[in-house]
Amino acid sequence: MKFLDMFTHVKTVSVNETKRVVREQPFGEYTLLDVREQVEYEKGHIPGAVFMPLSQLPDRVAELDPEKQIIAY
């Protein structure tokens, strides 16, 4: 899969929509993707989120399951 193919169906969701997904879908059916840099991540992050800084995303995108909903922040 090409890097850009992962982002062909991107939509923006609100914080409330994200909270609904986290509340209603079993953990593991979606991926919370933290794309902030290390310093930001160390200040605090959502437990269970996958840490993949935006600067590393092109090289690491294959680690993501394209079958799961991905919520990036």
Q: Residue 5: is its pLDDT beyond 90? A: no
Task: State the pLDDT confidence band at 6, using cuts at 50, 70 and 90.
Answer: low
CA distance 3 to 15: 26
Q: Is 14 helix (H, G, I), strand (E, B) or coil?
A: coil
CA angle 6, 10, 13 (to 5 degrees): 135
Q: Is 5 helix (H, G, I), strand (E, B) or coil?
A: helix
The pTM (predicted TM-score) of the whole model is: 0.78
For the stretch 11-45, pLDDT in tens is 788 989 988 988 999 988 999 999 999 999 999 99
Residue 2: predicted pLDDT: 65
Domain with residue 16: its CATH number is 3.40.250.10
Residue 32: predicted pLDDT: 93
Structural domain that includes position 56: 3-72
**What's the domain count of the chain?**
1
